[in-house]
Structure 1
Amino acid sequence: MSKLFTSDQVAAHNTDKDCWIIVEGKVYDVTTFLNDHPGGRKVLLKVAGTDATTQFQQFHNAAVLEKFGPELLVGAVSAHSEATTTSEEPTPSIAEGMTEGEPFGELVPFGDPYWYQDWYSPYYDDSHRRLRRFVRIFVEKEMMPFCHEWDEAKKIPASLFLKAGAAGILPAVAGGHWPVEYVASPPPADIAISEWNAFHEFIVCDELARCGSGGALWGLCGGLGIGLPPVMNFGSAELKKRIVPDCLSGKKFICLAITEPYAGSDVAGLRTEAKKTPDGKFYILNGEKKWITNGVYADYFTVACRTGEPGMNGISLLLVERSMKGVTTRQMQCSGVWASGTSYIAFEDVKVPVENLIGRENKGFKAIMFNFNHERMGIAIQANRFSRVCLEESLKYGHKRKTFGKNLVDHPVIRQKLANMARKVEATHAWMESLIYQTTRMPPELQMLKLGGPIALLKVQATQTFEYCAREAAQIFGGLAYSRGGQGEKVERLYREVRAYAIPGGSEEIMMDLGMRQSIKVSQLMGAKL
């Protein structure tokens, strides 16, 4: 039931003891919020009893209403002269996009992929459309209103992991196929297990990134998406049974600990060392890891360490548990992704049972490489959606910000910025879809060989597009993109997070070199005349 008021009735509530305002057709009692308003109480009192939609949209983003609105909402404005009460829900402004060719979303140009509008695609069916809507509702309700708060606090609440686990979002991003052996429930949105494919995971990852926060996204599933697959693909049956279900349900957390103060992209050069005890029952682990996503709160650490000769042939993977004596973590202060729990980890004489070996001893490098395509594709998906967020936010802002007597978007120089952003985003998205399609058709043993090079180059394309769009969006927003929170919140935050996408998973320089070397190698194997 929603109470309806006339504009005259709202106008009567115009003092500091009784202050109502109208925003986007809804009536809010902001009396108790006056002293908490970041712009001061006088800003609200100036619009007391009136429609403040224009002023609100000029200085705030929609997430503010999502966060504070429900507690302050008292009703809506009626078009009739008398106040009434109604139980009818408002009619959606656009269709829900549940059938092919039907639009979905806000329809901001290039704010969503083409297939969200009335464009046709060979990659998606009704199950993808249902999932798209399901994840969007989750993100807009459970994540988007709180990203700034989580970023400032440098952590996300444990309750979000449980909600994401129960919703089937965590199992959806853990490795491509639906992990039926570890999850009792079927995929979300009434999708049959037999229907699940790489494009479903693509949609989940892409929609999660609409929150506009790398910290929130990495905090929720960054460690999971790279730390758990080695266990799932190479761990013993006992290890999988004990570790995987709790991680996919959000009850426990895992991370991947490879990078060190001495070794980043050069994985074969890592120094963390594990030596077997004389009785052969334990490894004694010593070393340091740095820039480890989710390490601050992880229960489990998939640790790359040296157990044999120098180079790639002497590396093993161990599943280390926080409860083991000698494991210490501390949060690192980084430029971006603050809520992700980036940490420095020290292992001091940690006693790890040999049963916690993931795969075979001295064969860990292969297990690490096995998930790199999946990891880099995930980074590319997130980076390109963040580019869309920058473009979408810029388009919305450009239609309400006026300079020199007209909207920003009416200035040719601004439209040129938007056009360059759009063409880069759409080209990158099309390449992504093409490569993801190959993973649904190509045998797994060929994917590492044939797709490694193109996916490495795609990661560079996506992160450089992200960097370009974040910069151009910051120019369009001006000073609002230089201050944390408020209208330019997403753009400011994403501008700080660009390097967190350009470097992890393989720096641009390493990816460019790998992309060409691998592609040349494959072409020669196929008989290319070079």
Structure 2
Amino acid sequence: MSKEILRGGQFLVKETNCEDIFTLEDLNEEQKMMRESTKEFVDRELWAHWERFEKKDYAYTEACMRKAGELGLLSVAVPESYGGMGMGFVSTMLVCDYISGATGSFSTAFGAHTGIGTMPITLYGTEEQKQKYVPKLASGEWFGAYCLTEPGAGSDANSGKTKAVLSDDGKYYSITGQKMWISNAGFCNLFIVFARIEDDKNITGFIVENDPENGISFGDEEKKLGIHSSSTRQVFFNDTKVPVENMLSERGNGFKIAMNALNIGRIKLAAACLDAQRRVIKEAVTYANERIQFKTPIINFGAIKAKIANMATNAYAGESASYRAAKNIEDRIAIREAEGNSHQEAELKGVEEYAIECSILKVAVSEDVQNTTDEGIQIFGGMGFSADAPMEKAWRDARIARIYEGTNEINRMLAVGMLVKKAMKGHVDLLGPATAVGEELMGIPSFDTPDFSELFAEEKDLIKRLKKVFLMVAGSAVQKFGPELEKHQQLMLAAADILIEVYMAESTILRTEKNAKRSGEDSQKTQIAMSKLYLYNATETIIQKGKEAIVSFAEGDEQRMMLMGLKRFTKYTNNPNVVALRTQIADRIAADNGYTFD
């Protein structure tokens, strides 16, 4: 390939050219058609009937899933040899993005089926298992569910107590145990179940057909804050017999299956939060344009403009980073396949390569969608608090995203921990750049006035320095604590927030720079403003989290030196007029009556 594809985590220590990233504006005609057909389905079947999902109409969720299967939307990621469309990773992200905007209930059912319900068989199943089960799942004839969580095993997934005992004749396993929070449990035909064989260190995966006469029973539908029409029940296995040929992958490989499923699930969860933001912005702007107070539409008030601008800016950043990472994964899969890897191995390794970015995206976009829905309620005022308006249900549905696929706290610590482990394995050179930053802190800073005449020259220079903040903090922390770093969770959380903001801000700048180069700066005026606003907000977060981290472990001269470095690395040469940026962004969105940058 003619472009350079960085390995996972290398964005921190290597510069990325804007030409080397993928943006939503790079979609090909086939992908654009798929996006439009997905949006038509959502508008017709989901958004138009959002009240049905709020009334716990589980049957309607199942009916919509069948219609999605008929349209091929459940089979985008499934290879053609098993009845799927066999499309690339970006296309699967695209469908996940646009099918998820109308209701969290359907989004959850869709994600549980296509991701953790179907994908483990596609990636880990034997040829016989794939031929038997995947075509039914791809078409929507059957639906899948994923049984991992237990009352005593949440974030610590490998601690599950469910047992699998081999029969005396060696023909089947008997599974006994309790699973909870199982999405699609009320209408699924097949479970991916994780259980422990004897005293194995790691759990094992099994494909279990849903047969009530085979020791499978269910709890009542859970009463939940949101996603009301997502069927969520406890599942009880009592001596459930599973043929030995239904073991998924190898004995003891279940934890690996679960973790890799989570990696893929994390980036797709980020995608699933994007269109929800766009639709909330659309509703909020429409309301603000029409709502008259003090003889003027409330969209004209600066306080409302600030909210609209931040909502749109975060949505734009989420798009930029999500599709950047998705294309990196797709390209890495293609490289591995060209090197002779099977599709299964290529996809597993391709996603695993960018596990850091997957965790970053999961955290950033899930928190942005929550903030967007919260501001949407605020813009609606009293009507926003009413269940008769869509904002209230959007806020409730968004809340689960910070818990799904590993809580955001877990993912923050994972992102930093995985990066440190990559550095120790030599996959990402953190030591060299961190040492260089340490030497820079000891040196005399340059007082030369840089040339910032080109678009984003100052912003890209600032991003380079923001990366140094992470290297300074993480490098010193690793040096001080070594393997004990993981015990210092609050320090890791602060470092993770720095890492997250760097990736999101850089992705946003690179997307806009790429589009400005090919379409002209005039076509990107609002996008330029959003990129600058996001970077400003990111820098403010990094200043806060950097100080929090530094004072937590450094003292005396070391602390003073690092705090001076933090100030130097986060300093603007020309401070942006943030109020003007917000006003420019909000005025464009008000004129368009919604978010139109996708």
When normalised by structure 2's length, the TM-score is 0.63
Q: Does 1:159 align with 2:63?
A: yes
More strand by share: 1
Q: What residue is the counterpart of 1:103 in the other structure?
A: none
Q: Is the 8 A contact 2:23 2:320 kept in 1?
A: no
What SS class does the counterpart of residue 397 from structure 1 fall into? Answer: helix
Q: Is the 8 A contact 2:263 2:352 kept in 1?
A: no
Q: What residue is the counterpart of 1:492 in the other structure?
A: 392
**1:446, distance to aligned residue in structure 2 (A):** 4.6
Match of 1:204 among 95, 119, 131: 95
**1:121, distance to aligned residue in structure 2 (A):** 5.7
Percent of matched pairs sharing the same residue? 26
Match of 2:208 among 310, 320, 331: 320
What SS class does the counterpart of residue 171 from structure 1 fall into? Answer: coil
Q: What residue is the counterpart of 2:197 in the other structure?
A: 307
Code of the aligned partner of 1:327: I
Per-residue deviation, residues 196-221 of structure 1 (Å, max 9, x unmatched): 3222112211111232x110222244
Q: Does 1:370 align with 2:370?
A: no
Match of 2:123 among 211, 233, 247: 233
Q: What residue is the counterpart of 2:164 in the other structure?
A: 274
Structure-1 separation of matches of 2:350 and 2:330: 10
Match of 1:501 among 388, 398, 401: 401
Q: Is the 8 A contact 1:170 1:221 kept in 2?
A: no
Q: What residue is the counterpart of 2:236 in the other structure?
A: 346
Q: What residue is the counterpart of 1:170 in the other structure?
A: 74
Per-residue deviation, residues 266-313 of structure 1 (Å, max 9, x unmatched): 111111111111221121111111111111211111001111435xx4
Q: What residue is the counterpart of 1:218 in the other structure?
A: 108
Structure-1 separation of matches of 2:410 and 2:215: 34
More helix by share: 2
Q: Is the 8 A contact 1:294 1:342 kept in 2?
A: yes
Q: Does 1:528 align with 2:434?
A: no
Per-residue deviation, residues 422-448 of structure 1 (Å, max 9, x unmatched): 222211211111101101211436535
What SS class does the counterpart of residue 41 from structure 2 fall into? Answer: helix
Mapping of 1:13-412 within 5 angstroms?
A: 123-157=26-60, 158-172=62-76, 176=77, 178-183=78-83, 187=85, 196-211=87-102, 213-309=103-199, 313-323=201-211, 324-330=213-219, 331-412=221-302
Structure-2 separation of matches of 1:501 and 1:182: 30
Code of the aligned partner of 2:430: A
What SS class does the counterpart of residue 177 from structure 2 fall into? Answer: strand
Per-residue deviation, residues 158-207 of structure 1 (Å, max 9, x unmatched): 432332112110102xxx4x4201217xx4xxxxx6xx322211221111
Q: What residue is the counterpart of 1:515 in the other structure?
A: 415
Q: Does 1:453 align with 2:352?
A: no
Q: What residue is the counterpart of 2:558 in the other structure?
A: none
Structure-2 separation of matches of 1:417 and 1:475: 9
The alignment yields a C-alpha RMSD, in angstroms, of 2.0
Per-residue deviation, residues 351-410 of structure 1 (Å, max 9, x unmatched): 221121111111111222222222111111112322222222111111111112111101
When normalised by structure 1's length, the TM-score is 0.71
Number of residue-to-residue matches in the alignment: 393
Structure-2 separation of matches of 1:362 and 1:132: 39
Q: Determine which structure has greater relative contact order: mean sequence separation of CA pairs < 8 Å that are 6+ residues apart, divided by chain length.
A: 2
Code of the aligned partner of 2:306: Q
Per-residue deviation, residues 44-100 of structure 1 (Å, max 9, x unmatched): xxxxxxxxxxxxxxxxxxxxxxxxxxxxxxxxxxxxxxxxxxxxxxxxxxxxxxxxx
Code of the aligned partner of 1:143: L
Q: Which runs of 5+ in 2 are unaligned?
A: 1-21, 337-345, 435-598
Structure-1 separation of matches of 2:299 and 2:381: 14
Q: Does 1:462 align with 2:365?
A: yes
Structure-1 separation of matches of 2:64 and 2:357: 34
Structure-2 separation of matches of 1:294 and 1:305: 19
Closer, same or farther in 2 for the Cα pair 1:457/1:244, shift >3 Å? same
Code of the aligned partner of 1:166: E
Q: Is the 8 A contact 1:387 1:469 kept in 2?
A: yes
Closer, same or farther in 2 for the Cα pair 1:140/1:214, shift >3 Å? same
Q: Is the 8 A contact 2:370 2:395 kept in 1?
A: yes
Q: Which runs of 5+ in 1 are unaligned?
A: 1-118, 188-192
Structure-1 separation of matches of 2:23 and 2:122: 36
What SS class does the counterpart of residue 368 from structure 1 fall into? Answer: helix
Q: Is the 8 A contact 2:104 2:398 kept in 1?
A: no
